[in-house]
C-alpha cells in the first residue's frame, strides 16, 4: 500500500488520490439534500489538502475561504459555493504566505471508509474542519484578504 504524499491517504495499488476524490464526488453529487450541497465541502477539503507551491492563487483561496466560511461562519456548502461565485476573479490576487507544514487528522480515505449516509456526511464535515485546522497558520491572511474583497 502507498500513501498520498500530500494528504496521507492510503492508496491501493494502481490508485491515485484523485480516484478517491472521484468516488466521493459521485456520492456527494447524487446526495438527496442538494440544498445543503455537501459536495462543496469535499471540493474545498480535498483542494486544501493538495495545495502545492505550484497551485494557482484562485484555487488556493477558494479552498481556504470555503473551509473558513464553513468551519467558522457556519455556511452551508451551497452558501460557500454562492460566495465563490460572488468573489469571482478577485480570488486570483491571493498570495499564500506558507504551505501548511502538517497534515490534517482526517483524509479522503478516512471519509470513504465510513458507511454512506448520515455518518459519512458527518465525517465529511469533520474532514473539512480538520483541513481548516491544518491551515491555522494561514487563517489570519485568509480572513484579512476575504474582508478586503467582500
pTM: 0.96
pLDDT at 44 over 90: yes
| Helix/strand/coil percentages in the chain, nearest 5 | 65, 5, 35
Structural domain including 107 reads 2-149
Among 40-49, 91-100, 126-135, which stretch is predicted with the lowest mean pLDDT? 91-100
**Predicted local distance difference test score (pLDDT) of residue 34:** 85
pLDDT at 1 over 90: no
The position carrying cell 465563490 is 84
The number of distinct structural domains making up the chain is 1
**Predicted local distance difference test score (pLDDT) of residue 83:** 97
Distance CA 105, CA 9 (A): 11
Mean pLDDT of 47-54: 96
**Predicted local distance difference test score (pLDDT) of residue 28:** 97
pLDDT at 6 over 90: yes
Amino acid at each position: 500500500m502507498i500513501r498520498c504524499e500530500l494528504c496521507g491517504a492510503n492508496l491501493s495499488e494502481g490508485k491515485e488520490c484523485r480516484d478517491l476524490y472521484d468516488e466521493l464526488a459521485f456520492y456527494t453529487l447524487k446526495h438527496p439534500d442538494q440544498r445543503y450541497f455537501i459536495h462543496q465541502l469535499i471540493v474545498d477539503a480535498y483542494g486544501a489538502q493538495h495545495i502545492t507551491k505550484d497551485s494557482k492563487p484562485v484555487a488556493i483561496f477558494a479552498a481556504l475561504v470555503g473551509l473558513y466560511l464553513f468551519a467558522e461562519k457556519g455556511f452551508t456548502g451551497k452558501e460557500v459555493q454562492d460566495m465563490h461565485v460572488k468573489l469571482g476573479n478577485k480570488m486570483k490576487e491571493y498570495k499564500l504566505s506558507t504551505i501548511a507544514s502538517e497534515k490534517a487528522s482526517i483524509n479522503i480515505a478516512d471519509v470513504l471508509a465510513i458507511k454512506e449516509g448520515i455518518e459519512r456526511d458527518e465525517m465529511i464535515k469533520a474532514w473539512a474542519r480538520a483541513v481548516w485546522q491544518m491551515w491555522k497558520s494561514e487563517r489570519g491572511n485568509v480572513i484579512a484578504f476575504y474582508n478586503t474583497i467582500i
